[in-house]
Amino acid sequence: MVNKVSRPHRGVVSFVRRSTRMNESQQKAWERLAPRFVVDVPAAELDTSVADDAHVDWDAAFGRTAPRIVEIGSGNGESLVAMAAARPETDFIAFEVFEPAVASTLGRMGREGVDNIRVVLADGARGLEVLFGSGVLDEVWTFFADPWHKTRHHKRRLVNPGFADVVADRLAPDGLWRLATDWEDYALWQREVLDAHPSLVNVHGDWAPRFAERPVTKYEARGLAAGREVHDLTYRKRT
Protein backbone atom coordinates (compact mmCIF):
# COMPACT_ATOMS: atom_id res chain seq x y z
CA MET A 1 0.00 0.00 0.00
CA VAL A 2 1.31 3.43 -0.85
CA ASN A 3 -1.03 5.80 0.91
CA LYS A 4 1.35 6.44 3.79
CA VAL A 5 3.75 8.29 1.49
CA SER A 6 1.89 11.23 0.09
CA ARG A 7 4.69 13.77 -0.42
CA PRO A 8 8.44 13.51 -0.79
CA HIS A 9 10.00 13.82 2.66
CA ARG A 10 12.38 16.72 2.62
CA GLY A 11 15.84 15.38 3.40
CA VAL A 12 14.86 11.73 2.70
CA VAL A 13 16.67 10.48 -0.38
CA SER A 14 16.38 7.39 -2.56
CA PHE A 15 20.08 6.47 -2.39
CA VAL A 16 22.80 5.57 0.09
CA ARG A 17 26.07 7.51 0.15
CA ARG A 18 28.89 5.19 -0.83
CA SER A 19 32.66 5.48 -0.92
CA THR A 20 33.57 7.64 -3.87
CA ARG A 21 36.95 6.15 -4.72
CA MET A 22 37.51 5.89 -8.47
CA ASN A 23 39.76 3.38 -10.19
CA GLU A 24 42.50 4.61 -12.50
CA SER A 25 40.51 4.52 -15.72
CA GLN A 26 37.57 6.27 -14.06
CA GLN A 27 39.96 8.92 -12.76
CA LYS A 28 41.37 9.47 -16.25
CA ALA A 29 37.89 9.66 -17.82
CA TRP A 30 36.82 12.13 -15.15
CA GLU A 31 39.82 14.40 -15.67
CA ARG A 32 39.45 14.38 -19.44
CA LEU A 33 35.68 14.58 -19.85
CA ALA A 34 34.02 15.98 -16.72
CA PRO A 35 34.82 19.60 -17.67
CA ARG A 36 32.86 19.10 -20.89
CA PHE A 37 30.00 16.84 -19.87
CA VAL A 38 29.40 17.22 -16.10
CA VAL A 39 27.22 20.22 -15.32
CA ASP A 40 28.10 21.89 -12.04
CA VAL A 41 25.04 22.71 -10.01
CA PRO A 42 25.17 24.62 -6.71
CA ALA A 43 24.41 22.26 -3.82
CA ALA A 44 22.27 22.87 -0.76
CA GLU A 45 23.13 21.41 2.66
CA LEU A 46 24.36 18.01 1.34
CA ASP A 47 26.74 17.84 -1.59
CA THR A 48 24.25 15.63 -3.45
CA SER A 49 21.39 18.09 -2.97
CA VAL A 50 20.51 20.94 -5.32
CA ALA A 51 20.25 24.53 -4.09
CA ASP A 52 16.73 25.98 -4.24
CA ASP A 53 17.90 28.80 -6.52
CA ALA A 54 20.11 26.67 -8.81
CA HIS A 55 19.62 27.26 -12.53
CA VAL A 56 21.05 25.67 -15.67
CA ASP A 57 20.68 27.09 -19.17
CA TRP A 58 20.25 23.74 -20.96
CA ASP A 59 20.39 25.27 -24.44
CA ALA A 60 23.80 26.69 -23.56
CA ALA A 61 24.93 23.45 -21.89
CA PHE A 62 24.23 21.50 -25.10
CA GLY A 63 24.91 24.31 -27.56
CA ARG A 64 21.56 23.67 -29.24
CA THR A 65 17.83 23.33 -28.64
CA ALA A 66 16.66 19.73 -29.04
CA PRO A 67 14.12 17.30 -27.59
CA ARG A 68 15.12 16.52 -24.01
CA ILE A 69 15.07 13.34 -21.95
CA VAL A 70 15.99 13.10 -18.25
CA GLU A 71 17.21 9.84 -16.71
CA ILE A 72 17.35 9.65 -12.91
CA GLY A 73 19.78 7.06 -11.53
CA SER A 74 21.79 6.46 -14.72
CA GLY A 75 24.31 4.23 -12.92
CA ASN A 76 27.44 3.58 -14.98
CA GLY A 77 25.67 4.65 -18.18
CA GLU A 78 25.60 1.12 -19.58
CA SER A 79 22.14 1.61 -21.08
CA LEU A 80 22.05 5.41 -21.31
CA VAL A 81 25.11 5.83 -23.52
CA ALA A 82 23.86 3.22 -26.01
CA MET A 83 20.41 4.79 -26.12
CA ALA A 84 21.82 8.31 -26.51
CA ALA A 85 24.05 7.09 -29.34
CA ALA A 86 20.94 5.75 -31.07
CA ARG A 87 19.14 9.12 -30.78
CA PRO A 88 21.69 11.77 -31.80
CA GLU A 89 18.90 14.30 -32.41
CA THR A 90 17.89 14.21 -28.72
CA ASP A 91 19.65 15.64 -25.66
CA PHE A 92 19.91 13.61 -22.44
CA ILE A 93 20.35 14.88 -18.90
CA ALA A 94 21.44 12.16 -16.47
CA PHE A 95 21.30 12.47 -12.69
CA GLU A 96 23.52 10.10 -10.72
CA VAL A 97 24.88 10.48 -7.18
CA PHE A 98 27.69 7.92 -7.31
CA GLU A 99 30.80 9.61 -8.67
CA PRO A 100 32.67 6.50 -9.94
CA ALA A 101 29.52 5.53 -11.90
CA VAL A 102 29.46 8.98 -13.48
CA ALA A 103 33.16 8.57 -14.37
CA SER A 104 32.35 5.22 -16.04
CA THR A 105 29.57 6.94 -17.98
CA LEU A 106 32.05 9.55 -19.17
CA GLY A 107 34.49 6.80 -20.20
CA ARG A 108 31.78 5.12 -22.27
CA MET A 109 30.82 8.44 -23.87
CA GLY A 110 34.45 9.01 -24.81
CA ARG A 111 34.89 5.50 -26.27
CA GLU A 112 31.65 5.65 -28.23
CA GLY A 113 31.94 9.29 -29.33
CA VAL A 114 28.62 10.26 -27.69
CA ASP A 115 28.25 13.96 -26.91
CA ASN A 116 24.50 14.43 -26.39
CA ILE A 117 24.52 13.66 -22.64
CA ARG A 118 25.13 16.05 -19.74
CA VAL A 119 25.50 14.56 -16.28
CA VAL A 120 24.53 16.16 -12.99
CA LEU A 121 26.16 14.60 -9.93
CA ALA A 122 23.20 15.19 -7.60
CA ASP A 123 19.85 13.93 -6.38
CA GLY A 124 17.67 13.75 -9.48
CA ALA A 125 14.40 14.00 -7.57
CA ARG A 126 15.40 17.45 -6.36
CA GLY A 127 17.18 18.30 -9.61
CA LEU A 128 14.05 17.63 -11.64
CA GLU A 129 12.13 19.99 -9.39
CA VAL A 130 14.63 22.84 -9.40
CA LEU A 131 16.34 22.72 -12.79
CA PHE A 132 13.39 22.37 -15.18
CA GLY A 133 10.25 24.38 -15.85
CA SER A 134 6.77 23.00 -16.44
CA GLY A 135 6.14 21.08 -19.63
CA VAL A 136 9.69 21.09 -21.00
CA LEU A 137 10.67 17.40 -21.09
CA ASP A 138 9.88 14.88 -23.81
CA GLU A 139 10.59 11.89 -21.59
CA VAL A 140 11.66 10.96 -18.06
CA TRP A 141 13.32 7.58 -17.44
CA THR A 142 13.68 5.71 -14.15
CA PHE A 143 15.15 2.27 -14.83
CA PHE A 144 15.94 -0.16 -12.02
CA ALA A 145 15.58 2.41 -9.26
CA ASP A 146 16.57 1.10 -5.84
CA PRO A 147 13.64 -1.01 -4.52
CA TRP A 148 13.77 -0.21 -0.77
CA HIS A 149 11.91 -3.35 0.29
CA LYS A 150 11.35 -2.81 4.00
CA THR A 151 8.13 -1.02 4.87
CA ARG A 152 9.99 1.46 7.06
CA HIS A 153 12.14 2.35 4.02
CA HIS A 154 9.26 2.84 1.58
CA LYS A 155 9.50 6.59 2.12
CA ARG A 156 12.90 6.41 0.37
CA ARG A 157 11.46 5.02 -2.85
CA LEU A 158 12.11 7.35 -5.76
CA VAL A 159 8.66 6.68 -7.20
CA ASN A 160 6.04 8.09 -4.85
CA PRO A 161 3.03 10.40 -5.31
CA GLY A 162 4.99 13.61 -4.69
CA PHE A 163 7.71 12.68 -7.19
CA ALA A 164 5.00 11.67 -9.68
CA ASP A 165 3.51 15.18 -9.36
CA VAL A 166 6.89 16.67 -10.28
CA VAL A 167 7.47 14.32 -13.23
CA ALA A 168 3.94 14.92 -14.54
CA ASP A 169 4.43 18.68 -14.31
CA ARG A 170 7.84 18.71 -16.05
CA LEU A 171 6.69 16.49 -18.95
CA ALA A 172 5.43 18.20 -22.09
CA PRO A 173 1.88 17.30 -23.17
CA ASP A 174 2.07 13.72 -24.52
CA GLY A 175 5.53 13.37 -22.93
CA LEU A 176 6.42 9.89 -21.66
CA TRP A 177 7.64 8.50 -18.35
CA ARG A 178 9.29 5.11 -18.87
CA LEU A 179 10.03 2.86 -15.91
CA ALA A 180 11.42 -0.62 -15.40
CA THR A 181 12.14 -2.71 -12.33
CA ASP A 182 12.94 -6.34 -11.57
CA TRP A 183 11.28 -6.24 -8.13
CA GLU A 184 7.63 -7.21 -8.31
CA ASP A 185 6.57 -5.41 -5.13
CA TYR A 186 8.11 -2.17 -6.41
CA ALA A 187 6.55 -2.71 -9.86
CA LEU A 188 3.12 -3.08 -8.25
CA TRP A 189 3.76 -0.01 -6.10
CA GLN A 190 4.80 2.06 -9.13
CA ARG A 191 1.70 1.00 -10.97
CA GLU A 192 -0.57 1.74 -8.02
CA VAL A 193 0.90 5.23 -7.60
CA LEU A 194 0.96 6.14 -11.29
CA ASP A 195 -2.34 4.57 -12.41
CA ALA A 196 -3.98 6.78 -9.76
CA HIS A 197 -2.30 9.97 -10.95
CA PRO A 198 -4.78 12.39 -12.57
CA SER A 199 -2.26 13.76 -15.11
CA LEU A 200 -0.76 10.44 -16.24
CA VAL A 201 -2.23 7.81 -18.54
CA ASN A 202 -0.98 4.21 -18.54
CA VAL A 203 -0.20 3.95 -22.27
CA HIS A 204 -0.76 0.19 -22.44
CA GLY A 205 -3.45 0.03 -19.74
CA ASP A 206 -1.25 -2.71 -18.29
CA TRP A 207 2.46 -3.55 -18.04
CA ALA A 208 4.33 -2.14 -21.04
CA PRO A 209 6.23 -4.35 -23.47
CA ARG A 210 9.96 -4.28 -22.74
CA PHE A 211 11.37 -0.94 -23.96
CA ALA A 212 13.17 -2.26 -27.04
CA GLU A 213 15.79 0.52 -27.10
CA ARG A 214 17.05 -0.36 -23.61
CA PRO A 215 20.06 -2.70 -23.61
CA VAL A 216 20.11 -5.35 -20.87
CA THR A 217 22.27 -3.92 -18.08
CA LYS A 218 23.97 -5.84 -15.29
CA TYR A 219 21.04 -4.94 -13.01
CA GLU A 220 18.49 -6.41 -15.40
CA ALA A 221 20.67 -9.47 -16.08
CA ARG A 222 21.15 -10.06 -12.35
CA GLY A 223 17.39 -9.90 -11.75
CA LEU A 224 16.66 -12.28 -14.61
CA ALA A 225 19.39 -14.70 -13.47
CA ALA A 226 17.81 -14.73 -10.01
CA GLY A 227 14.48 -15.70 -11.60
CA ARG A 228 12.82 -12.31 -11.21
CA GLU A 229 10.55 -10.91 -13.90
CA VAL A 230 11.26 -7.43 -15.27
CA HIS A 231 8.24 -5.14 -15.44
CA ASP A 232 8.20 -2.11 -17.73
CA LEU A 233 5.67 0.70 -17.45
CA THR A 234 5.00 3.67 -19.75
CA TYR A 235 2.85 6.67 -18.81
CA ARG A 236 1.85 9.58 -21.01
CA LYS A 237 1.24 13.11 -19.77
CA ARG A 238 -2.44 13.83 -20.25
CA THR A 239 -3.06 16.80 -22.56
The residues assigned a catalytic role are 146
96 is in an annotated binding site: yes
Q: Return d(Cα 4, Cα 77) in angstroms, integer.
A: 33
What are 93's strand-pairing partners? 70, 118
Q: What is the nearest approach in angstroms of ligand SAM to the Cβ of residue 76?
A: 7
What count of other Cβ atoms lies within 10 Å of the Cβ of residue 112?
Answer: 13
Q: What is the nearest approach in angstroms of ligand SAM to the Cβ of residue 154?
A: 14
**In this structure, are residues 130 and 54 in contact, taking their beta carbons and an 8 Å threshold?**
yes
Q: Which residues bind ligand SAM (CB under 6 A)?
A: 13-15, 72-75, 78-79, 95-98, 101, 123-125, 143-146, 158, 217, 219
Minimum CB distance to ligand SAM smaller for 146 or for 165: 146
182 is in an annotated binding site: yes
**In this structure, are residues 211 and 232 in contact, taking their beta carbons and an 8 Å threshold?**
yes
Q: Return d(Cα 114, Cα 120) in angstroms, integer.
A: 16
Positive or negative, the CA dihedral 214, 217, 219, 221 is positive
184 is in an annotated binding site: no
146 is in an annotated binding site: yes
Q: Are strands 200-202 and 231-237 parallel, antiparallel or unpaired?
A: antiparallel
Strands (E), the chain: 68-72, 91-95, 117-120, 137-143, 171-181, 200-202, 231-237
Minimum CB distance to ligand SAM smaller for 37 or for 95: 95
Minimum CB distance to ligand SAM smaller for 196 or for 216: 216
Minimum CB distance to ligand SAM smaller for 8 or for 175: 8
Q: What is the nearest approach in angstroms of ligand SAM to the Cβ of residue 214?
A: 8
Report which residue type is found at 98.
Answer: F
Collapsed DSSP state (helix, strand, coil) of residue 103: helix
89 is in an annotated binding site: no
Provide CB contacts within 8 A for 152, sequence distance 6+. Answer: none
Bind-site residues: 71, 96, 123, 146, 150, 182, 217-220
Bind-site residues for substrate: 150, 182, 217-220
Bind-site residues for S-adenosyl-L-methionine: 71, 96, 123, 146
